[in-house]
Amino acid sequence: MLEPVATLLLSMLSIPGMALIAGALAVPLLPASARNAFMLALIAFSGWTVWQIAPDASLTARLAGIELTLLRVEAITKPFALVFHIAAALNVIYAMHEKARLTATAGLAYAGAAIAALFAGDFLTLFIYWELTTFASVFLVLAGNTQRATRAAMRYLLMQVASGVILLAGAVLLWRSGAGFAITALDATTPAGFCILLALGIKAGFPLLGGWLQDAYPEASPAGSVMLSAFTTKLAIYMLVICFAGFKPLIYIGLAMAIISLFAAMIENNLRRVLAIALVNQLGIMVVGIGIGSELAINGVTAHAFASVLYKGLLFMSMGAVFFCTGTDRADALGGLARHMPWTAGFCLIGALSIASIPLFSGFTTKALTLGAVAKQGELWVWLGLLFASVGVVLHTALRLPYAAFFATNPKIKAEEAPLNMRVAMGLAAGGCLVIGLYPSALYALLPYAVSYKVWDVGHVLGEVQLLVFVALIFALMVRRGLYPLSGADMVIYTDWIGRYALPRLIIGIGAPLMRLWNGAKDGFVALMLRLLRTGEEASRATGLASGVASTGAAAGIFLALFALILLIRIVI
């Protein structure tokens, strides 16, 4: 009896990511000197299992008569899994200066759950990992150790748990329809498909559903923000590819994500929140590619997600380093840091040029695949919308963010360079951005379909360079004339305005009069009952019931009736 269980447990440890989840239990017990080496060794082992895994590998188990697919490999699984391991390793290096055991434990478990979820073959198994990513990652938000972080963590937890519950509801509906729990392409117009799309949409930051992202990520610790930027949203993108590739409404949902986020990012004062909002923009471009659904588009989504984990992680690292060294991430309190933190400034510029899709950097060789797929599909207005979104990203992330932090005039600013481990992590991420930009064929070899699109077309290269030069000149002119303030509102409420401001005020506005009405009715009822009791007491005295003239049985009956009435009043009130 024990032998099959032991065999299953050993088999489960061979699932990529499971070693990280199991190893996270030991992290709090290890001294600081051994903890980081232990985590990096686990990540290396898990990454090796991804590299060696067979394309047709599978592992199943039965639970209560239900067959679970614990391991299944799709064509796009390997690149997502590899970049998740790279991100996990960079996170460990970046956070080496921290001594918090809880953050290290939560970060490793979070990465492991996200990696294992990529290999889940059924929605019940996915649900387990889905919820584990939620409960592990919320500790990264709480690591911000502020009241704002605590409130943001609770809102984050609420949205993530809601996503899990809706995912489970969709899985049950799918099973009841006779389709089983297998993860496969779904029809979003069915109840089951709609529920699963909604659950994935919450995690992917769909309009009106993604406010938790820019709410929670900037409130986490510097290392926590970097970890959060890598896994949750990309896991949702991966599942959208598997389940809803070619679902046309996703084109317009993604376009809305890419464009709406621009306006908030342009005037936001908190630079880490700027990055969180810009992340929604990048996710929107990926969602557009999923809606297109062609082989070139799926290649573009996969490559873009891979590159985005690196350059967005690099940007979050650089702003996290600024926050760690100065104690602030507000644009109006920064500037002039390039002379104090030259390494961090240089790495930030590499991340900025990558997200701007400048030739020789990773964004150029990856995002171009999605834009090319949109153009080949004949979606002219969508292509123009994505071009407009790309201009916005160049403006608020590639130009405004590094300028406000490192090059704007601020003679009073003083800071030390970021710790060595932070610089090493940023350097490795920057190196990855350059390698993908200079030698994209290595990444293209991992993509699910052969790449025949000519990224280095002369017209494409010149177009991107001209776009950057034009936007840079406009930015310089606007800043010089004071038309584009580098510091904006203290906090820009994005699509979470409904949940954070409008809905609570609506509930209070409706609930307060109702509570006053209820309290008035309750007080009137209590007064009526007391008046009836006093009237009954006076009547009993007049008839002699209270003076012993009546029988003991009658007195006992009246007492029980009054006692029952009091209990009823207590229950109602």
pLDDT bin (cut points 50, 70, 90) of residue 570 is: low
Q: Mean pLDDT across the chain, nearest whole number?
A: 84
What is the rounded average pLDDT of the residues 505-513? 76
Does one domain contain both 238 and 92?
yes
Query: Is the pLDDT assigned to residue 523 strictly greater than 90?
Result: no
Q: Which of 181, 190, 187 is closest to 246 using CA atoms?
A: 187
- Chain segment 360-410, per-residue pLDDT in tens: 889 888 988 998 899 888 888 998 998 888 888 888 788 888 888 888 887
Query: Is the pLDDT assigned to residue 161 strictly greater than 80?
Result: yes
Kindly state the percentage of the chain with pLDDT values over 70. 87
Does one domain contain both 512 and 480?
no
DSSP string, 41-107: HHHHHHHHHHHH--TT-EEEEEETTEEEEEEE--TTHHHHHHHHHHHHHHHHHHTTT---HHHHHHH
Q: Which of 342, 341, 348, 349 is closest to 324 using CA atoms?
A: 341
pLDDT bin (cut points 50, 70, 90) of residue 83 is: very high
Domain-located, residue 48:
yes
Domain-located, residue 266:
no
Backbone angles phi, psi at 69, to 5 degrees: -100, 100
CA distance 112 to 92: 13
Domain-located, residue 363:
yes
Q: Which of 353, 324, 350 is closest to 337 using CA atoms?
A: 324
pLDDT bin (cut points 50, 70, 90) of residue 478 is: confident
- Chain segment 18-32, per-residue pLDDT in tens: 999 999 999 988 887
Query: Is the pLDDT assigned to residue 4 strictly greater than 70?
Result: no
More confident: 202 or 536? 202
Contact 175, 157 (CB under 8 A): no
CA distance 411 to 408: 10
Task: Count CB-CB contacts under 10 A for residue 394.
Answer: 25
Does one domain contain both 66 and 188?
yes
Domain-located, residue 252:
no
Does one domain contain both 320 and 407?
yes
Does one domain contain both 225 and 288?
no
The whole-number pLDDT of residue 542 equals 62
Does one domain contain both 404 and 543?
no
| Number of domains present in the structure of the chain | 3
Domain of 542, in residue numbers: 499-572
Does one domain contain both 3 and 47?
yes
Does one domain contain both 3 and 45?
yes
Does one domain contain both 396 and 516?
no
CA distance 354 to 362: 5
Last residue of a domain, one of 461, 494, 527: 494
Last residue of a domain, one of 196, 225, 244: 244
pTM for this prediction: 0.84
Domain-located, residue 257:
no
Task: Of 44-53, 340-349, 398-407, 457-466, give the lowest mean pLDDT range.
Answer: 457-466
Domain-located, residue 251:
no
Domain-located, residue 464:
yes
CA distance 305 to 237: 8
Does one domain contain both 397 and 541?
no
Last residue of a domain, one of 197, 228, 244: 244
Domain-located, residue 260:
no
Does one domain contain both 521 and 480?
no
Query: Is the pLDDT assigned to residue 492 strictly greater than 60?
Result: no
Contact 211, 499 (CB under 8 A): yes
Does one domain contain both 476 and 517?
no
Residues with Cβ within 8 Å of residue 540, at least 6 apart in sequence: 546, 558
Query: Is the pLDDT assigned to residue 494 strictly greater than 60?
Result: no
